[in-house]
Structure 1
Amino acid sequence: MTQPLLADPGVVLGEDGLARPAWAACDPLLRDYYDTEWGMAVTDEQGVFERVCLEGFQAGLSWATILRKRPAFREAFDDFDPDTVAGYDDQDVERLLADTGIVRNRQKILATVRNARATIELRADNGLSALIWSFQPGTTPRPRRFEDIPTTSPESVALSKELRRRGFAFVGPTTMFALMEAIGIIDTHLLGSHRRGTSGVWPE
């Protein structure tokens, strides 16, 4: 197989002629995720809740690990339906801890149940999606290279603080910055990437 060629200093030019960051250039799973999903606007409650949970599970691990396990996560957590997950009991927690298809971390599993309950409580105040999207900044980064992308922002710090106040767990500033990238609240696609400006949220 021909190796991807360097194009713009910050991106890799693939065999299909499209420029991507290095992390999305070679692994087919990551490439498909980058091309079709990452950075696109997610605004429905269940979609946002799932991503909050998966970003929490990712803490300390690679995103590729979580992405490969996502089908198993969805099956184990009833497609991340907040109403269903909020009703999980100790027996469910033990079931999840025995599930080799997911990340078997008790604190992260308990946080997911806790976050489901907090999501339901937020429905009385515009809901989880509206709260998270209310932290959209007035501008977005314009990185040329991967090293130019920050890992936190004033908005992700504030969002983390507010979600914790609302009862959420595993929602630190770095995790929330990654969430904001993933669901389109900010656009951190490299300027030379073919995906830059494609979310419909931010101009190129």
Structure 2
Amino acid sequence: MLRKPLSSDLIIGSDGRGRPAWAAQDSLLREYYDHEWGMPIRDEQGLFERISLEAFQSGLSWSIILRKRENFRAAFAQFHPDKVAEFGEEDIASLLENPGIVRNRRKILATINNAQATQRLREKGGLVELVWSFKPSHTPQPRSLAEIPTQSAESLALSKALKREGFSFVGPTTMFALMEAIGMVDTHLIGSHRRGSSGIWTS
């Protein structure tokens, strides 16, 4: 008999592991939740990719972005900042005709702009150092999805810091989603088999 989950928002799968509903039904989302979401990213290219994808996700479902991720990687030179920073009008026109990605001109331009901002930031310690400097002193301990915040004082401060450095599409809600995705905060529900898996937070 399957045990009762600690939260009504957790679903205990056939493997006996607790996951939130959004990660329990779809195999792609479950794979992402089980192996990627909430794990630390501390390299510039990886972090630039996550910032870019979070920007494209704004106003959309993450599942849409996840299903198109390989297309995004191919279209944006594997999110190598130096290569994306060189994109010109022909590249932009090609991206706007690419059905494999989200064809939003403002988000495409923001990605190119953010690549250029990432380059400039190297003179001040780099993107990784800046982002991780906003790691909070504690993390949420949600027992339900309703207890998970959508932004925090740190995500607001990070948003302002990135905007000062010339980044765009980096609002506080988007930055909190980034912090969740890269393990800066642990918003896995209490009782989830992924709680504490980042190695950064122990509870």
TM-score, length basis structure 2: 0.97
Q: How many residues align?
A: 201
Aligned-pair CA distance for 1:16 = 1.0
Aligned residues of 1:35 and 1:195 also touching (Cα < 8 A): yes
Task: Name the amino acid aligned to 1:7.
Answer: P
Kindly provide the amino acid, as one letter, of the partner of residue 140 in structure 1: T
CA deviation after TM superposition for structure 1 residue 6, in Å: 5.9
Q: Any gaps of 5 or more consecutive residues in structure 2?
A: none
* Aligned-partner residue type, residue 138 of structure 2: T
Using the alignment, how far apart are the partners of 1:197 and 1:81 within structure 2?
30
- Distance in 2 between the 1:8 and 1:156 partners? 28
Question: How many angstroms apart in 2 are the aligned matches of 1:72 and 1:51?
Answer: 14
Is 1:152 the counterpart of 2:123? The answer is no
Distance 1:16 1:69 in 2: 28
2:5 counterpart of 1:7: yes
Is the 8 Å Cα contact of residues 6 and 12 (structure 1) preserved in structure 2? no
Instruction: Please state how far the C-alpha of 1:7 moved relative to its aligned partner.
Output: 2.0
Q: Secondary structure at the match of 1:20?
A: strand
Between the two proteins, what is the percent identity of the paired residues? Answer: 61
TM-score relative to the length of structure 1: 0.97
Shift of the alpha carbon at 1:139? 0.4
Shift of 1:8: 2.2
- CA distance, structure 1, for counterparts of residue 100 and residue 175 of structure 2: 25
Structure 1 unmatched runs, 5+: none
- Contact 1:141–1:186, Cα closer than 8 Å, also in 2: yes
Within 5 Å, which residues of 2 pair with 1:124-163? 124-163=123-162
Task: State the alpha-carbon separation in 2 of the partners of residues 199 and 20 from structure 1.
Answer: 16
Q: 2: CA distance between counterparts of 1:111 and 1:5?
A: 46
